[in-house]
Amino acid sequence: MVTHWVRFRTAEGAEGFGTLAGESITPHAGDMFGAHTGSGAALAVSDVALLAPVRPTRFVGLWNNYHELATKQGNAIPETPLWFLKSPGSVIGPGAAIRPLAGYAGKTLYEGELGLVIGRRVSRADETEAEAAIFGLTCVNDVTALDILTADPSFPQWARAKSPDSFGPIGPCIAQGLDWRELRVQVALNGRVRQDYPCADMILPPARIVSLLSQEMTLEPGDVIACGTSVGALPMRPGMEVAVTIAGIGTLTNAFAPE
């Protein structure tokens, strides 16, 4: 059974979380990653605004984690995660606008990815413990200001290129009960599919990613790990709409706002 968790804001401005089934949300009280129980009447999705389903304290991204892209670019196959951090302040939810970076005229890339959401504190874990610490799966658009990343040949600026406000769309929900090996990531730009790749092509699988990262940092409930992207990540222009779809999770749609 697959369960979909969402966060939402009502018309009155109250925020909450709950489970999504079709077009109805069952609100819950408590902690999504701890003790919680259903509370209150069901809400129609059309009556609320969906938020990013999680507000991470750590937002980790991986580079070079798919065989097809590594082969295409001539990259070596990594044995450990090649990771960077995105600012938690970059996170936005479904329907929110990705905003162009002020004073920046370079390329801005979309990168559709599978996201892992951590559900319990995990440190120095083996792969069995790490797999049990994964609460669920979500869609991520790892937006990147490419020309900032490579502007200084002496210092690749990963965090700066990936952390501007609104450069971290996540959503529309967190799905529990899915097998990541059966999933595909599709990204459509203005309705045209530009990325379509299997998650089974991952070099480092989710449990190993979490285990290896946990040797270096303690991961907390709500932290997000974007598993990396594959072929087809391209620049987008203001006014375009990006939709990241993973069947079983849903579609994360965000417009790249006009300047």
Looking at the predicted structure, is the pLDDT value of residue 111 above 90?
yes
Is the Cα torsion angle 251, 23, 18, 9 positive or negative in sign?
positive
Place of tokens 């040949």: 153
Tell me the mean pLDDT in the region 132-157: 97
% of the chain exceeding 70 in pLDDT: 100
Omega prior to 81 cis, within 30 of 0: no
Tell me the mean pLDDT in the region 187-192: 97
pLDDT (tens digit per residue) in 55-108:
999 999 999 999 999 999 999 999 999 999 999 999 999 999 999 999 999 999
3-state helix, strand, coil in the chain (%, to 5): 15, 40, 40
CB 93 within 8 A of CB 224: no
Q: Quick one: CA torsion of 250, 100, 256, 56, rounded to 10 degrees?
A: 10
Q: Quick one: CA torsion of 212, 213, 218, 221, rounded to 10 degrees?
A: -110
Q: How confident is the model at residue 259 (pLDDT cuts 50, 70, 90)?
A: low
Residue 41 has a pLDDT of 87
Q: Is the pTM of this model over 0.95?
A: yes
Looking at the predicted structure, is the pLDDT value of residue 199 above 70?
yes
Tell me the mean pLDDT in the region 163-177: 98
Tell me the mean pLDDT in the region 235-248: 97
Which residue ranges form the domains of the chain, and what is each CATH number?
1-51 (2.30.30), 52-255 (3.90.850.10)
CA distances from 211 to 13, 57, 214, 258 (A): 38, 18, 5, 41
CB 18 within 8 A of CB 51: no
Q: 183: how many CB neighbours lie within 10 A of its CB?
A: 17
Q: DSSP E strands: which ranges in 87-201? A: 91-92, 108-109, 112-118, 134-141, 144-145, 168-176, 184-189, 192-198
